Amino acid sequence: MILTNASKIRGEVSIPGDKSISHRSIMFGSIAKGTTRIKGFLQGADCLSTISCFSKMGIEIKNTPDEILVYGKGLRGLSKPDSLLDVGNSGTTTRLISGILAAQDFTSHINGDASIEKRPMKRIMEPLSLMGADIVSDRGNGCTPLTINGKKLHAIDYVSPVASAQVKSSILLAGLYADGTTTVTEPALSRNHSELMLKAFGANVSSSGTTARISTTEELYAQDILVPGDISSAAYFITAALITPDSELLIKNVGINPTRTGIIKVYLDMGGKIELLNKRTIAGEEVADLLVSSSSLHGTDICGDIIPTLIDEIPVIAIAASVAEGKTVIRDAKELKVKESDRIAVMTDNLTRMGADITATDDGMIINGGKPLRYAVIDSYLDHRIAMSFAIAALVSEGGVEIKDGECVNISYPKFYEDLEKVKG
């Protein structure tokens, strides 16, 4: 994929559906009674993996250009899949579905692509086992392939060592089926879409501070869901308009759930011009349009409780930090090492090739901004967020960039390059 630079970013872009909410709408719709109707669903490869897994368990899912219909069969309505559940590249599918499968009265097998086979699953295997689950890493390395023999589960109080919505959600989904009340306490609050959506579907779920709580639930009931745009996808356009001179971009339909808006806080703190317009609430989630203009950014420190609220945006924030004046220090972000790629190593390697001054640390990176970026060949390592981040770096680089395996943007934003082309001056 060859990406050129741009003299300005102008016009407007409408952001496709939120990946986290799209996954959950299929999963919760499948185990709810009745027909769940989903509009604004993200037709990315990860969410399509979730559809394929639930289809294999006997759930009819109609995917039309307008909406998705999930003919849910209730909490006990899934049937034994007759082959492996293929989760593709999707960590969310793997970890959330495991919580559901742990409580079914059948055995299932899960695996995905080469990246999924390296991602840590002990973080869900341990708490689910404490609940009575029988979940085995077939190769004994704490990764997929996993074999899950459904069992009767009991409630636990779990203090999670990581702030991870996937871990929290996996436990909450198992907790739906367990006897008693399950709690999950995280070191910092991660995205809370599961809590909000499970409540709307009728689960006995609540939260206070960094603790989420769920009790045995008799049944979930189908919902109409309008999926807001994904702030993690908007992040590329926000950054594009901030760092490219002479830019003004209206970014429409952006979910601004406070557990996801760390990037806006950080960019405002770096001197970014971002206005939130037309704030509204859609299906229990806050949404706004963002008006973003070229800004003279300066470096900042990014660490602590804000990290889970911007974890997927750190690669593109690193691009902005390379352009900003002064030093940016990112700490407490060890989780970056276990994403679709090791995002600390991959960002450091690729940004160095472009001429940036960046040093990897054990839990983040240090960037001395303001060095001119130049043409380089970028290895995406098949990580969608790396490919999109460097498409944005290209805008301000002398000579653009070439991205290897750039089509991996299909995972979360199939029309990314098209949308970017439309706003490039």
**In degrees, to the nearest 5, what angle opens at C-alpha 310 toward C-alphas 309 and 311?**
105
Cβ atoms of 238 and 222 within 8 Å: the answer is: no
Q: 389 or 397: whose CB is closer to ligand S3P?
A: 389
Q: How far is the CB of 166 from ligand S3P (least distance, A)?
A: 3
Buried b (16+ CB within 10 A) or exposed e, 314-346: bbbbbbbbbbbeebbbbbbbebbbbbbbbbbeb
Q: 376 or 411: whose CB is closer to ligand S3P?
A: 411
Site residues for ligand S3P, 284-313, by CB under 6 A, read: 311-312
One character per residue 27-66, x = contact with ligand S3P (rule: CB under 6 A): ----------------------------------------
Distance CA 150, CA 100 (A): 9
Cβ atoms of 115 and 136 within 8 Å: the answer is: no
Q: Which of 89, 92, 144, 341 binds ligand S3P (CB under 6 A)?
A: 92
Q: Which of 115, 164, 253, 322 binds ligand S3P (CB under 6 A)?
A: 164
Residue 255 corresponds to which tokens in the numbers above? 């979910």
Q: Which of 16, 17, 20, 175 binds ligand S3P (CB under 6 A)?
A: 20
Distance CA 211, CA 77 (A): 29
- 187 in helix, strand or coil? coil
Distance CA 223, CA 267 (A): 35
Q: How far is the CB of 317 from ligand S3P (least distance, A)?
A: 14
Q: Which of 75, 101, 121, 165 binds ligand S3P (CB under 6 A)?
A: 165
Q: How far is the CB of 100 from ligand S3P (least distance, A)?
A: 14
Q: 156 or 411: whose CB is closer to ligand S3P?
A: 411
CA 81 → CA 47, 110, 148, 259, 359, distances in Å? Answer: 18, 10, 12, 34, 46
Q: How far is the CB of 106 from ligand S3P (least distance, A)?
A: 25
Site residues for ligand S3P, 65-84, by CB under 6 A, read: none
Catalytic residues: 312
Q: How far is the CB of 420 from ligand S3P (least distance, A)?
A: 21
Distance CA 128, CA 121 (A): 11
Stretch that binds ligand S3P, among 81-89, 145-153, 162-170, 259-267 (CB under 6 A): 162-170
Distance CA 230, CA 351 (A): 25
Q: Which of 166, 207, 300, 309 binds ligand S3P (CB under 6 A)?
A: 166
User: Binding to ligand S3P by residue 94, rule CB under 6 A?
Assistant: no
Cβ atoms of 172 and 194 within 8 Å: the answer is: yes
Residue 85 corresponds to which tokens in the numbers above? 């559940």
Site residues for ligand S3P, 332-361, by CB under 6 A, read: 335
- Ranges assigned E (strand) in 27-125: 32-39, 60-63, 68-73, 85-86, 107-111
Q: Which of 54, 42, 36 is nearest to 201 (CA)?
A: 36
Q: 98 or 166: whose CB is closer to ligand S3P?
A: 166
Stretch that binds ligand S3P, among 164-172, 260-268, 365-373, 400-408 (CB under 6 A): 164-172
One character per residue 172-201, x = contact with ligand S3P (rule: CB under 6 A): ------------------xx----------
Q: How far is the CB of 169 from ligand S3P (least distance, A)?
A: 6
Stretch that binds ligand S3P, among 104-112, 158-166, 343-351, 402-410 (CB under 6 A): 158-166
- 204 in helix, strand or coil? strand
Residue ranges binding ligand S3P (CB under 6 A): 20, 92, 164-166, 169, 190-191, 311-312, 335
